[in-house]
Amino acid sequence: MTPPAPAQDDRVAPVDWEALREAARDAMSRAYAPYSHYPVGAAARVDDGRTVTGCNVENASYGIGLCAECGLVSDLLNSGGGRLTHFTCVDGRGEVLVPCGRCRQLLYEFGGPGLLLETPAGLLPLSEMLPQAFGPEHLA
């Protein structure tokens, strides 16, 4: 298996980060968070220009709740696959969040080290948010 391809350079293929954030906020509005009351929405651009989204889905058995990134990856695969190139995630106030460690690993699988993440500290490649990541290339 070959290593994931790096995300497109934002300078070459400009991304409307506000529109991506708005898509994440829209997804967040449909989150199912009756236990934590902490809705989360995520949106990402795919290498073919599509936008995919997801929201968190909690469960009375707390450990089996799904983060927004899980829904986003499901949307990616259900709508034709591809590689994630740009990602943002928002909380219930619409403020930018960083993905948890589990979700960074999930994003690595579908976006690779070059996936650009919008964070409260600015735009960062996933390689800086998940250094020395384990991925499909390790299973070859």
Q: Is 95 a catalytic residue?
A: no
Instruction: Give the H/E segment covering residue 46.
Output: strand 41-46
Q: Which of 18, 22, 58, 69 is catalytic?
A: 69
Label residues 47-65 b or e (16+ Cβ within 10 Å = b).
beeebbbbbbbbeeeeeeb
pLDDT digit string (tens) for the chain, length 140 residues: 333 444 444 434 689 999 999 999 999 999 999 999 999 999 999 999 999 999 999 999 999 999 999 999 999 999 999 999 999 999 999 999 999 999 999 999 999 999 999 999 999 999 999 999 999 889 98
Q: Which residue's structure tokens are 């579908």?
A: 110
The pTM (predicted TM-score) of the whole model is 0.89
Closest CA to 45 of 131, 107, 136: 107
Cα–Cα distance measured from residue 37 to residue 73, given in angstroms and rounded to the nearest whole number: 23
Cα–Cα distance measured from residue 8 to residue 40, given in angstroms and rounded to the nearest whole number: 26
Closest CA to 100 of 92, 91, 60: 91
